[in-house]
Amino acid sequence: MDFQVRESFESGEPLRGEMRLEKPGFEPVWLEIPRFLSGWGLICENSGAATGWRVVGDNFCEGGRVMAFVEPVSAECAEDKAAQAYERIREVLGVTEIPEIFRYFAAVPAFLHDFFMNFRKFVLSAGKLDEKRKLLIAAAVAGQGGSSRWLDYLATFAEARGVSRGELAEALAVGAANSMYNVLFKFRDISGTDVFNGMGVGLRAHTFHGTSLDETTVELINLSLSDINSCKPCTSAHVAKVRQMGISDEAIYEAIQCAATMLGGVQFLRSVGMG
C-alpha cells in the first residue's frame, strides 16, 4: 500500500504524527505524516491499492508519535483472565481475530471480562427486548458518547439483526433530538425557580415521529439517553409513556442495562484516546 502526502499548507512549526485509515475487511493502518501548528490540511493520494480507505482519526504531538494511553493486547500476549476472555469472545462472536476494541480493553483484564459478559447479555442477546431494539439503543448511546469507533463496530452486527444503515442513523438522530430536550427540561428542573415552566419549549422535534423507527424503539432510546443525561423529568415521563404502551418494567430495566453497558464501553475507549 503506497500512501503519499500530496499537499500541506499554512506552514509553521512542523509536528509529526499519524493518520488512521480504515477499510472494511482490513486491519487499520496508521500513516505517518507531518502536521503544522497554524492551521493545517493534508491531501493523501495512493497507488490504487488503498481505494476505499477512509480517515477516521489522527494522533499528533511535537517531536514524535502519540499513542493511546494503553497499548492493545495481542492474542499472543494475552495471559490468564485476558486470554480466557479472548477465548470467550471467539466462541460467542464466531471470530478468529479479536476485534480491536476488545484488545484495548484487555489492558485491564478484569474490565474486559466484565464488559464482554455484559455486552453479550445486554446488547447482543435477546431477552425482554429483541436484538434489533437493543442494537439501536446501543448505537444511540455510542452516538451520545461521540464514539465513531463503537458505531462502526456495532454496524457489523446490523445485517444479522435486520437493522439498516439508515435505521442506525435514525437512532442517532432520535438520540440527538432527545438530548436537546434533556438540556431544556433538566434546566427547568434544576433552575431553582418555576418561572421557566410557564415558558414554551420552542424546540422543534418532528424527528421523534418522522423516522422509520417504531414508537416503542424511539421511546426506549429517549428513556435510556434521558437517564444518561440525568434529566429527571424526562426520565420519569418516558417511563410513564412506555408503561402506557404496554412495555413491562423488566423490559424497561433491560433497556437501561443495555445503555449502561454501552456507556461503560464508550467511556473506557474514549478515556484511553481511542474513541
Q: Are residues 177 and 240 in the same domain?
A: yes
Positive or negative: CA dihedral 71, 107, 144, 215: positive
What is the model's pLDDT at position 1?
Answer: 41
Structurally, how many domains does the chain consist of?
A: 3
Q: Are residues 167 and 232 in the same domain?
A: yes
Q: Are residues 134 and 260 in the same domain?
A: yes
How many whole angstroms separate alpha carbon 238 and alpha carbon 227?
A: 10
Q: Are residues 142 and 242 in the same domain?
A: yes
Query: Does residue 197 lie within any of the structural domains?
Result: yes
What is the model's pLDDT at position 72?
Answer: 84
Query: Does residue 156 lie within any of the structural domains?
Result: yes
Query: Does residue 94 lie within any of the structural domains?
Result: yes
Q: Are residues 93 and 163 in the same domain?
A: no
Query: Does residue 272 lie within any of the structural domains?
Result: no
Q: Are residues 133 and 20 in the same domain?
A: no
Q: Are residues 225 and 188 in the same domain?
A: yes
Q: Are 42 and 20 in contact (CB under 8 A)?
A: no
Closest CA to 102 of 86, 117, 84, 81: 86
Q: Are 119 and 239 in contact (CB under 8 A)?
A: no
Q: Are residues 143 and 261 in the same domain?
A: yes
Q: Are residues 143 and 183 in the same domain?
A: yes
Q: Are 51 and 7 in contact (CB under 8 A)?
A: no
Domain boundary pick from 88, 104, 125: 125
What is the pLDDT tens value at each position of the chain, 275 positions in all?
A: 444 433 333 444 444 455 566 666 666 665 555 443 333 334 343 434 444 555 555 444 433 334 568 888 888 998 999 999 999 999 999 999 999 999 999 999 999 999 999 999 999 999 999 999 999 999 999 999 999 899 999 999 888 888 999 999 999 999 999 999 999 999 999 999 999 998 998 988 899 999 999 999 999 999 999 999 999 999 999 999 999 999 999 999 999 999 999 999 999 999 988 76
Query: Does residue 89 lie within any of the structural domains?
Result: yes
Q: Are 31 and 60 in contact (CB under 8 A)?
A: no
How many whole angstroms separate alpha carbon 256 and alpha carbon 167?
A: 20
What is the model's pLDDT at position 28?
Answer: 63
Closest CA to 22 of 142, 163, 148: 148
Query: Does residue 274 lie within any of the structural domains?
Result: no
Q: Are residues 107 and 176 in the same domain?
A: no
User: What number of residues does the chain have?
Assistant: 275
What is the model's pLDDT at position 95?
Answer: 92
Q: Are residues 45 and 89 in the same domain?
A: no
For residue 221, give its domain range: 126-265
Query: Does residue 159 lie within any of the structural domains?
Result: yes
Q: Are residues 228 and 259 in the same domain?
A: yes
Q: What is the CATH number of the domain that holds 225?
A: 1.20.1290.10
What is the model's pLDDT at position 21?
Answer: 62
Query: Does residue 153 lie within any of the structural domains?
Result: yes
pTM value surpassing 0.85 = no
What is the model's pLDDT at position 273?
Answer: 83
